[in-house]
Structure 1
Amino acid sequence: MLWVKAAHIIFVIFLMAGLFMMPRFFVYHHQCPVGSDEDRKWIERENRLARIILNPALTIVWVFGLMLAFNGNYWGEGWFIAKLILVIGLSGYHGWMIGYAKKLARGERALSEKRLRLLNEVPGIAAAIIVILVVVRP
């Protein structure tokens, strides 16, 4: 199980990197005119980030995480339930980002750059809480 735990942590790092990068991409994407050459480049960058890093990392994190949960039989422990809720929330955040990238590709700019910068803090706060839950197990 140590190899599974190592793989889980490695892919969590990949996932978190993508979760930090995508909203920053959105901020830069917002700054270019819809339909411009730069707009098309940001659409491609966002698609690649989702396709190559975010989507595979999220899937692998869930697979290895569930393996660890079943092996450790953590289902009745409060720290684990709290962690699971946060991971479900981060998965939803991932889904929202994929959806927002599609809106940007259609030329929609629903959120302000300021709001996108604030949303960039979500994965960091969630990760800090998750690490505390897993390590300290309060």
Structure 2
Amino acid sequence: MLYDLVKSAHIVAIVVWFGGTMAAVLALAYATPDIIAKFARFDRLVTTPALVIVWVAGMTMAIWYGWFNSGWLVTKLVFVVALSALHGVIAGRLNRAQTGFSSKPASTLNAIPAMALALAIIVTLAVTKLF
């Protein structure tokens, strides 16, 4: 039962984190500075805490079940670290954009296909535990 609750929290947090990050990318490309400021606040209050929950819940399950020796988890973590870092970059761009300093925010759109592919790989590895 506790595992199911932690796993559910992990999945819900992933949806919130990923959705918030994708919305931030789109805001950077298309929104006005006042809307970008609202997205920056949302990122601080919702998306970033969701990222923390993703990590805490995921690491909790990995510790409980001894998955750190599994190739699938190590591979998955490479992609999760990359997406976490990308979230940091996007959050930084949001903060700069709301203060009026922004360098080519539309170029952030290039991250969307990579984010989607990384998420597909992460989900596939978590569900199938291939190796």
TM-score, normalised by the number of residues in structure 2? 0.89
* CA deviation vs aligned residue, 1:46-66 (integer Å, no higher than 9, x gap): 222212221110011111111
The corresponding residue for 2:99 is 106
Residue of 45, 51, 56 corresponding to 2:49: 56
Looking at structure 2, the residues matched to 52 and 103 of structure 1 have their Cα atoms a distance apart, in angstroms, of: 17
Looking at structure 2, the residues matched to 46 and 122 of structure 1 have their Cα atoms a distance apart, in angstroms, of: 21
The corresponding residue for 1:81 is 74
RMSD: 1.4
Runs of 4+ in 1 over 4 A off after TM superposition: none
Amino acid at match of 2:122: I
How many residues are treated as equivalent by the alignment?
Answer: 128
The corresponding residue for 1:32 is none
TM-score, normalised by the number of residues in structure 1? 0.85
Q: Would you say the 8 A contact 2:10–2:53 is kept in 1?
A: yes
Residue of 12, 15, 18 corresponding to 2:14: 12
Q: Would you say the 8 A contact 1:43–1:104 is kept in 2?
A: yes
Amino acid at match of 1:81: V
Greater relative CO (CA pairs within 8 A, separation 6+): 1
Change (3 A) 1:112 1:56: closer
What is the deviation of 1:112? 5.2
For residues 126-137 of structure 1, the aligned pairs below 5 Å read 126-137=118-129
Q: Would you say the 8 A contact 2:93–2:105 is kept in 1?
A: no
Looking at structure 2, the residues matched to 60 and 54 of structure 1 have their Cα atoms a distance apart, in angstroms, of: 10
* CA deviation vs aligned residue, 1:24-66 (integer Å, no higher than 9, x gap): 000113xxxxxxxx42x12322222212221110011111111
Q: Would you say the 8 A contact 1:24–1:120 is kept in 2?
A: no
What is the deviation of 1:137? 1.8
Q: Give the 3-state SS of the residue equivalent to 1:107 in structure 2.
A: coil
| Higher gyration radius (CA) | 1
Q: Would you say the 8 A contact 2:37–2:94 is kept in 1?
A: no
Q: Which runs of 5+ in 2 are unaligned?
A: none
